[in-house]
């Protein structure tokens, strides 16, 4: 039996990257798993509408894709020290430890304990080689020996379950559009992207810019205020604070390219999702992003380097031949579906 941890997914009111991973993986696993959630009052996992305590067998697996700590899950340390079943986890990044100055304080406080907790799991997968390295280095630094050898798992690229598409007709669209997807916060670097876009507009490069993402309540307000003001004076800019999968799919289909100027990532789902749709991506030159960018369909630009970003975006916006080459490379790439990611886990845990 595989039990699937949905503690946060069940209560979430937004679709962050973490929530997308949790929900899409849950869909891929289908009826082979049973959903459970941590009950702090009972200090254990419960399931079903009646929230009945889960009776684990020693050969069962608990699979979690979530982040946690003792303060959020009272009694969880005791559960992990004397687990009634086998434990498996997918972990995402060490960003709150590496970049605390641009990370939500709650995440900064939680993350070191979360990373120590993961060392006690029987199976563990990182969402990228860069993330695997960050976690193993953290454990080495802390003098912690992880129970499991950490593997890397490929995340699905089909964010809405749709098929790969051809996009040749969009090359000749009169006014090209750029799309940027991600929570509005300093780490995602949208304010920098606005600087680059405004410089290109001043230089007579005609294009639309669409930014999609919920606003980080701790860090995101200044960027959100700036985007709202820009939208009033610049008809070529649109801020989409909320967008469901259908609306996001429409924006991807209309985009000449995706801009991903992030300063830190665990995997970089927007890059994968762009490639799935055959949309070229201009992304930050980060090791974690190059794991997927170097195989084709992408241009990389130095992190927060305005001149480099202007040059790379100008290419995808104005050079039809290069844009077609990037589109062809994106479509030709082999990218996994979420059902394949789920199957990898299913085989490992059965």
pLDDT in tens, 203-235: 999 999 999 999 998 889 999 999 999 999 999
| Residue 163 placed within a domain | no
Q: Quick one: average pLDDT of 186-191?
A: 96
Between 214 and 11, the higher pLDDT residue? 214
Neighbours of 284 (CB within 10 A): 26
Residues 200, 180: Cα–Cα separation, whole Å: 16
pLDDT-derived band at 311 (thresholds 50, 70, 90) equals very high
> Is 30 in the same domain as 146?
yes
pLDDT digits (tens, 9 = 90+) for 28-68: 999 999 999 999 999 999 999 889 999 999 999 999 999 99
Examine the domain organization and report whether 217 and 145 are in the same domain. Answer: no
Cα distances from 234 to residues 67, 77, 102, 201, 242, in angstroms, run 39, 52, 28, 10, 20
Q: Are residues 143 and 220 in the same domain?
A: no
What pLDDT digit, counting tens, does each position of 329-348 carry? 999 999 999 999 999 999 99
Question: How does pLDDT run across 121-134, given as a tens digit for each residue?
Answer: 999 999 999 999 99
Q: Is residue 161 part of a domain?
A: no
Number of domains forming the structure of the chain: 2
Q: Which pLDDT does position 20 carry in this prediction?
A: 82
The verdict on 292 and 345 lying in the same domain is: no
Summarised one tens digit per residue, pLDDT across range 285-309 is: 999 999 999 999 999 999 999 999 9
Task: Answer whether residue 214 is part of any domain.
Answer: yes
Question: Is 292 contained in some domain?
Answer: yes
Q: Is the pLDDT of residue 172 over 60?
A: no
Place of tokens 């604070």: 241
Pairing of strands 208-212, 177-181: parallel
Given this model, what pLDDT does residue 249 score? 85
Q: Determine contact, residues 62/30, Cβ cutoff 8 Å.
A: no
Per the domain annotation, does 162 fall within a domain?
no
**188 secondary structure, DSSP code:** G
Q: State yes or no: pLDDT of 105 exceeds 50.
A: yes
Residue 244: CB atoms within 10 Å:
9
Range of the domain at 33: 2-156+338-349
- One domain, residues 205 and 112: no
User: How far is it, in rounded angstroms, from Cα 323 to Cα 326?
Assistant: 5
Question: Does 16 reside within a domain?
Answer: yes
Q: What is the CATH number of the domain that holds 298?
A: 3.40.50.2000
Confidence of residue 169 (pLDDT cuts 50, 70, 90): very low
pLDDT at 5: 96
CA 350 vs CA 25, 105, 195, 321, 343: distances in Å: 16, 38, 51, 48, 10
User: Coil, strand, or helix at residue 15?
Assistant: coil
Same domain membership, residue 137 and residue 53:
yes
Residues 81, 173 within the same domain: no
Highest-pLDDT range among 12-16, 76-80, 240-244 = 76-80
Q: Are residues 144 and 279 in the same domain?
A: no
pLDDT at residue number 85: 98
Task: For residues 88 and 210, state if they share a domain.
Answer: no
Quick one: what percent of the chain has pLDDT higher than 90?
Answer: 82
Asked if residue 77 and residue 146 are part of one domain, the reply reads yes
- Asked if residue 142 is part of any domain, the answer here is yes
Task: Based on the fold, state whether residues 321 and 343 are members of the same structural domain.
Answer: no
Residues 272 and 342 in one domain: no
Q: Is residue 206 a part of any domain in this protein?
A: yes
């Amino acid at each position: 039996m595989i039990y699937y941890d949905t503690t946060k997914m069940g209560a979430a009111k937004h679709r962050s990257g973490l929530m997308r991973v949790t929900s899409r993986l849950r869909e891929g696993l289908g009826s082979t798993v049973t959903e459970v959630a941590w009950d702090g009052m009972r200090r254990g996992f419960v399931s079903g509408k009646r929230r009945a305590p889960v009776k684990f067998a020693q050969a069962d697996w608990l699979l979690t894709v979530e982040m946690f700590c003792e303060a959020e899950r009272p009694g969880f340390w005791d559960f992990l020290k004397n687990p009634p079943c086998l434990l498996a986890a997918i972990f995402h990044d060490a960003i709150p430890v590496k970049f605390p100055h641009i990370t939500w304080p709650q995440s900064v406080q939680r993350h070191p304990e979360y990373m120590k907790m993961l060392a006690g799991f029987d199976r563990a997968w990182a969402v990228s080689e860069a993330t695997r390295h960050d976690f193993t280095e953290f454990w080495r630094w802390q003098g912690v020996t992880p129970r499991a050898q950490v593997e890397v798992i490929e995340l699905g690229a089909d964010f809405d379950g749709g098929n790969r598409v051809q996009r040749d007709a969009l090359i000749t669209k009169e006014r090209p559009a750029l799309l940027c997807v991600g929570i509005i916060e300093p780490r995602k670097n949208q304010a920098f992207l606005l600087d680059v876009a405004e410089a290109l507009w001043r230089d007579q490069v005609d294009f639309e810019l669409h930014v999609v993402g919920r606003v980080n309540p701790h860090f995101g307000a200044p960027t959100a205020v700036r985007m709202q003001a820009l939208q009033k004076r610049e008809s070529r800019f649109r801020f989409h604070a909320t967008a469901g999968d259908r609306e996001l799919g429409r924006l991807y289909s209309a985009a000449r390219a995706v801009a991903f100027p992030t300063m830190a990532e665990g995997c970089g789902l927007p890059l994968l999702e762009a490639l799935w749709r055959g949309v070229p991506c201009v992304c930050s030159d980060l090791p974690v992003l190059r794991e997927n960018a170097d195989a084709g369909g992408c241009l990389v630009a130095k992190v927060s380097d305005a001149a480099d970003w202007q040059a790379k975006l100008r290419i995808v916006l104005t050079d039809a031949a290069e844009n077609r080459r990037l589109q062809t490379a994106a479509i030709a790439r082999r990218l996994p579906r979420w059902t394949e990611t789920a199957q990898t886990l299913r085989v490992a845990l059965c």
